[in-house]
Structures are given as C-alpha cells and as structure tokens.
Structure 1
C-alpha cells in the first residue's frame, strides 16, 4: 500500500478500464454456482456458509478495476474467487463480545471547516462494516450493502499485519531464530537474487532495497502483474518467478530505503511457512484461531492449496473476528487461558517505526512503518480536528487498499475495524486523514467510559 508518501496516482487508468469492462457484467465463469442454503459454501471445510452467498461473481483478473458495486460483491466473496485454505475454530466456543453498558456517544470531527458525524463517516468512507470495541465490548457495530455477522470480508494488506503477529509467535516458539537472520536461511532459492543479503527484520520493515512497483493504477506495475498471476490456474510459479526477477536499486543497501513492497511481504509469509512447516492458515488456526474463541472459520487465499498461502494479503474473516484478532494484539498476545504466545516486547518492536529514507514524512516525523504495522496521523497542514488526543500517538494501524482497517490504541483499550470499498485504491489521501480523525474522535468520546 503506497499511502500518502507517494504522489497521488492518476485515476484515469481506473476510469477507462472500469468503463471498458462494465459491459461484461459480474459473471466469472470459473466459479460454480451454490445454493443459498449453504450446502456448498464454495470452499471445502467451512463449517458455516458465509452470507450473503452471491451467485454471480466478478472476474478476479479485473480486481483492480472493479467499480464500487462490483467490489462489494468481490470482497465478500474473495474466499471463493481463488483457491483457499480454511483456518478453523475447531469447534471451540466463541469468546463473547458483549454490548457496552452505554451507547456510543455522538461523534464529531472536523475537516476543512465542516463538522461530520458517524453517519457522514460511513458515507464518506464507503463503509460496509464497522466495529468499535472498548474494553473488549461492542460500543458500535454496523453492516452495510447486505453484509452480515457471518460475512467473510477480504483483508487486502491488513493480512500483512496478521502475518507479522504470526512471525512473533514463531520466534517465541523458536521456529524462527531471529529477525536478524538472512531470509535465504529459510528460502534458499533466493540465493543469487536481489534478496540475497536481506534480513527478516528488513523484509518486515520493507527496507529491502529491492525495486518493486506497487502502483495500483498501472496495468504494468509489479503489483498488477502479481494480481494477474494470482488469477491464473497455477499461480505459484508465476508469483515466485515475478518476485525472484526484480532487481536491487543501484547503490542502495538493505536497510537504507523504505519502499512498500507486497512481493517482499509474500516472502515474509514464505519464511514463516518454511520455518513452521505449516501454511499461514494452518499456523493461524493452531496457534490463535482455535484457541482465542473466534466465532467462525475463515479462509486464507492459497497459491498452492495446503502448501503455500499468499502472505501479502488474502485473510478473509468476519467483522467480529477481525475485532477479536485486534483484541488479541491489544493484549500483547494473550490467550483467554492466560498463556502469552508472543514475546513480551513483540508489539513494541513491531511498532518501532523505521526511519529509513522514505519512511519519515511531515505526517510521520518519527517514521510511518514497523513490522508490517503503520503509524497514521492527519497531515500537519490539514484543516481538521481532533488532529491529536492525549494518547493518539500510541495508535497503530493495519491498513489495506480500498479502506480496510484495524486501528488499535492500547492506552484507550480501543479497537476499531473497518471494511470499505473506496472508489480508488488509495486516493484521495484525505480518506486516510479522515480515518485518523475519526479514531481520535471516538477515543475522545469513549475516554473514561
């Protein structure tokens, strides 16, 4: 995800392609039709059929150029558009998410001299799901565009933060020796490539120095090529060859320059899978999903079913289970049993922002990226309030294109989850400003509650 540190990309490419494919409709012939009763959930092994179960699905080849209505259908059915590995609750009893004792107070934030409410926020952000947890209780919950409590919504790059947490679990278990290990220790086929000298620490912080074009508005970017690979019948070799083929930026050593890189994030997942001998889905299931009290099975996008999952994105779960995952992170990695499965300092290390060139900006003077978690704050010149709260500097973010979000403020014991279908992947940048302003306003409204 490029974020506001890169110049706003032209949306002309999106508009032209969206118009050109509009006549194609939403049909994707490669998806079998299933009945509404859930006899076939589209993925073998799901214990509950997600709803709504849309019968007509979009073509994944066109994911970056779907219009907003198409994106709603595509994002809640992404688990069916690709091969998937289920991460199951294993029948465990869900941990309760009880309603808060009092309703969410009125929310007020300001941008460009205008004041906005929570209803304005939902409209401005094209929100299709919103969950606010305070002290682990539901202060606010909203579903839009036909989504429901058992909709599986796709994470986009929020999955990177999930993988980062799993890396911490693997380090505590001794399956990964250290973030200072070179990644070739776990992925030997990268020897002799641009990735050869990169450590896991640098890979997690996206400071590999390897050139990767993440431009979502270009049909010829590396990210776009990866999207096309994923939609092919045998995606693994295509993605691997793409990621291995990129070059090092001339004169740039690992650790010197920050540049957001989904190809590198996929390699973080490969490090984890090779170190643990499990897919991302299976490791998530065995360590967290079946032990924390999640309410429903989820699906992780697989490049090779039961062998290789997509570490850069591809996590699909319910809104409340996104929230429960946020609660798990807020706790520092503690299960309901009291067992701590993350290193004591893992969250602090994960949110220690890199100051490599490109990470420090006027909005993020101490850096904006850690171990696949973001620092996010309104632009300093934004005519907006509340720009800060007493604890807003402690908020950290899992962010995915088109507005997917988990925001966590440990000091306020606050977790916010957002599903959205922005018109464009990341523009305008004021949408990110608005997210930060909204979380600050929620934090102020709930402070001391």
Structure 2
C-alpha cells in the first residue's frame, strides 16, 4: 500500500517558516523549493518497507526521500556554476582476478544512478541514470553522518561546543545514569561509545530496523529517543569500534542542543549559503523546525554533494578563503581510530574516523589492479547504505560523488566497496 501523510505539507510549511528563509522558491507539490527537483514521481514506495524495497522502489524512494518524510529545507544563496575541466574522463579500468572492467561496466555493476568527478574543482565527468537530473535531490543515507560531524567541527570553531572531550551529558543532562553517561563527544563521533547497538539491516528486529519503523509513523522523535535512551552498555567506552546509527542520531541531537538550531538551519547558516551551494536541500525531520535526524536524511543535488566534498578538500575553507573548521580538523577526521575492530589485516591503519571511512584498497587484496600500494592513499570516504559515496583525496585534488542502488544495503568489503576503491584509484591515475 502506498502511503503519504496528509500532514506533510503543513509540517514542511512550518519548517520553512521556522528557519526564516527569504529566497525565491517554487511550489513543488507538498514542499517549496528552488528549483523543483525532477523527475517528480507520482507513486512513492511505502517507507515501512524501506529495507526491503526492490531496485525500482529504491530509485524512486531515494530521490523522493524529501517527500516521503517530513523535512526541513536548507536554502541556497548566490552560487557560481562549476567549470568544466580541460582534461575530462573518458574511461578508466580496473582488474579483479584477471577480469578487466571499464567505467561503463562499473556503472552497471554498481547500479550507479549518478556520478560526478571534480578534478581541481572542475567537472571532469558527470553521469546520470534512471532519469535523474541536475535538480534531483538524492538521499544520502549515512553520508549525512559525515555532514553532521563536519557541523560539529564548525560548532567547536564557533565556541558553541567547547571540546570533543566534553561528555554527552554536558549537553543532555537527562542521560545521566544511562549507558551514555561518561561517553565523550569524540567517542560518540568515532563510534567507540561502548553502548550496544544492532545495526543489522537484514534483521527486522535490529535496533536500526526499529528506528526505520519509528520513522514511518507519527511521534518519530520520541520513538527513536526511547530506543536510544534505553540501550545497554556492551563494553567500556573507547575500547571497541562498533558502527552505530543510534549514536550518530544522538550526536545530531547534541549538536542541536548546543547550537539551539535544527541541523538544516545550522547547515544553511554556516555552510550551505556561505559555501555557494546552487540548490535547496531537505533534511529528514523528526520534529520539523526543531530536530533533524543526525544519522542520515540529508538530501541534495549531485553537484552540491560535490561542493561539500570540495569544502572538505579545502580543509574547511569557504571559497573566499575563510576557515570555518578548526585548524587540522580534516586531518584529525582521518586519524582513524585504533580501537578494536577498527584495525584489521585489510586496514591496519584503522577503518573509521570522525564519521568518515578509510575505504582504501585493502592492503591484503590480491589479484587486483591498481594494487593496494598503487591505489589512492589517505582519502576520506563518506559512505551510506546501498552505495552513496563522497570521496575526497586532497593529494590528488580529487572529489568523486556517487549515487547507487546496490542490491544489498551493506555488501562485504570484497564486493562493491572494493570495486569503488579500485575504480576511484583508476580515475585518479587517468586524471593525474
């Protein structure tokens, strides 16, 4: 059964008013945006079944996330079109177990719905599939975690958060006596809180699956907060890395407590408009105008995903040169935690930082070209389930963004993530 809340237009209108937007906008059905995203699909898949959507539903659902849920709009300001690179990407290829795959093969194997390559800040390659366009708003899934961690850095630079060593309870005192008591913001951001969370996307009873069910009904904020508040401690904070959308949700909540603003409003004020983004975006709201979900729910155009990557590539500087992230923040974000389970034979330097991933070609990968030694090193990867990606490599001045509908939410690192690492390394070699 197709579901659509009759309250969404009211909620969205409230969120626009709350954030005080003043730019010209257009009525796009139940939401006001500039410009209206296209395509505008008439029938939306049921959000209750998000983790079980088929490929067609994923395409429609991911580009209509901003309509499927209540949301807060973050407005763009003046922007400059992205220039085209003199050297464009025509093809790139990689090998696995003696098989060679070209760029066209990669796009099919990864179910790519959109891809953009910026070299030296200029467009070297752009690709759309499934009818997507430059105005399509695609959902980020957990790529949004990397946006939230960046906003935390901006809040520290502004003095709204004192330090990553602050305890969570300094901002949310009602969590004293819970499993979160004693956890620092850094541990929360590195997913080393020690608080138990089941992220299994295939288990309908997992904590993450329960979170998605909360999102498909009224009272989402209270429903999710009840789950997160009553979690148990699994081990001491700081000892083990364990990926947690529950912890990421709490990080977003802490940020909103610290700034007194929703994630969308804070993003608009500090980064979206000052950085010259070209289109409005929408953040999935649990309480419109007040609370947006910190674990995912960031929806924006392909080019604006890339502009965010460029901001990270510039070490947190706006186009006018103003530094709005703390000094060395991006380096610290890629200082992968050495907690147990982050370090492995495949990634001996660690797998996870400030909600950014180390998705370099595994050092123990065999029968691959480029080789681990010849592949991209020291990249930051924002990764979301089903293949949402922002990759930033400062040494090569390279940003690659990708929208996908992988058949599995989280395939093994020997599958799609490995092929992405190989292809991106091959692209870097082609454009070097």
Unmatched runs of 5 consecutive residues or more in structure 1: 1-23
Which of 336, 342, 345 is the equivalent residue of 1:359?
Answer: 342
Q: Work out whether 1:201 is the aligned partner of 2:176.
A: no
Q: Work out whether 1:28 is the aligned partner of 2:39.
A: no
- Give me the whole-angstrom Cα distance separating, in 2, the residues matched to 1:389 and 1:444: 13
CA contact (8 A) 1:31 1:57 kept: no
1:170 corresponds to: 155
1:56 corresponds to: 43
Q: Work out whether 1:140 is the aligned partner of 2:125.
A: yes
1:427–1:325 Cα change, 3 Å: same
TM-score of the two chains, using structure 2 as the length reference: 0.93
Deviation at 1:33, TM superposition (A): 11
1:332 corresponds to: 315
TM-score of the two chains, using structure 1 as the length reference: 0.90
Q: Work out whether 1:387 is the aligned partner of 2:371.
A: yes
1:413 corresponds to: 397
CA contact (8 A) 1:129 1:143 kept: yes
1:274 corresponds to: 257
Once the two structures are superposed, residues 129-161 of structure 1 have per-residue CA deviations (whole angstroms, 9 ceiling, x without a partner) of: 000000000000001001000000000000000
Count residues with an aligned counterpart: 415
2:381 corresponds to: 397
Once the two structures are superposed, residues 82-106 of structure 1 have per-residue CA deviations (whole angstroms, 9 ceiling, x without a partner) of: 11000101xx221221111122143
1:75 corresponds to: 62
CA contact (8 A) 2:153 2:326 kept: yes
1:335–1:218 Cα change, 3 Å: same
Deviation at 1:383, TM superposition (A): 2.2
1:295 corresponds to: 278
Once the two structures are superposed, residues 278-325 of structure 1 have per-residue CA deviations (whole angstroms, 9 ceiling, x without a partner) of: 111001000111111111000000000000100000000000000000
* Other structure's SS at 1:394 match: coil
Once the two structures are superposed, residues 73-129 of structure 1 have per-residue CA deviations (whole angstroms, 9 ceiling, x without a partner) of: 00000011111000101xx22122111112214301111211111100100000000
- Give me the whole-angstrom Cα distance separating, in 1, the residues matched to 2:175 and 2:233: 13
* Other structure's SS at 2:383 match: strand
Q: Work out whether 1:446 is the aligned partner of 2:431.
A: yes
- Give me the whole-angstrom Cα distance separating, in 2, the residues matched to 1:213 and 1:300: 24
Once the two structures are superposed, residues 15-64 of structure 1 have per-residue CA deviations (whole angstroms, 9 ceiling, x without a partner) of: xxxxxxxxx5xx32436999xxx964245442221111111101111100
Unmatched runs of 5 consecutive residues or more in structure 2: 10-24
Deviation at 1:444, TM superposition (A): 0.7
* Other structure's SS at 2:377 match: helix
1:32–1:276 Cα change, 3 Å: closer
* Other structure's SS at 1:225 match: helix
1:125 corresponds to: 110
Deviation at 1:392, TM superposition (A): 1.8
Deviation at 1:188, TM superposition (A): 1.3
Deviation at 1:399, TM superposition (A): 0.2
- Give me the whole-angstrom Cα distance separating, in 2, the residues matched to 1:31 and 1:271: 30
- Give me the whole-angstrom Cα distance separating, in 2, the residues matched to 1:274 and 1:42: 32
